[in-house]
Amino acid sequence: MRWPTIILAALLVLLQYPLWFGKGGWLRVWEVDRQLQDQRELNQSLEQRNAAMEAEVRDLKTGFEAIEERARFELGLTKPGEVFVQIPRERD
């Protein structure tokens, strides 16, 4: 009676090995699922960044307010007749 139990247990272990450790086993599925979740999070953040850039490009193409704002803040340009005054901040 002891040998059939050992043979059945060994057979069970041999059948379970590919399920857990094989090429398409559970451990591999869990790892791929984690990688998929990480990639989805990355894609979502990139989609948000792309949407913001698309809105900025659309605004620059259609309106002059965005172009004027960029020229004033990034390049320090002024309109004719305006005076640019810069007040230095006090250091802490």
Mean pLDDT score, 41-58:
94
What would the pLDDT profile of 1-25 be if each residue is shown by its tens digit? 788 888 888 888 888 787 777 787 8
Residues 6+ apart with CB under 8 A from 25: 18, 19
pLDDT score of 21: 78
Mean pLDDT, all residues of the chain: 85
Q: Phi, psi (5° rounding) for residue 80? A: -60, 135
Question: pLDDT of 27-40, one tens digit each?
Answer: 888 899 999 999 99
pTM equals 0.52
56 CB-near residues (< 8 Å, 6+ apart)? 66
- The whole-number average pLDDT for the span 30-52 is 96
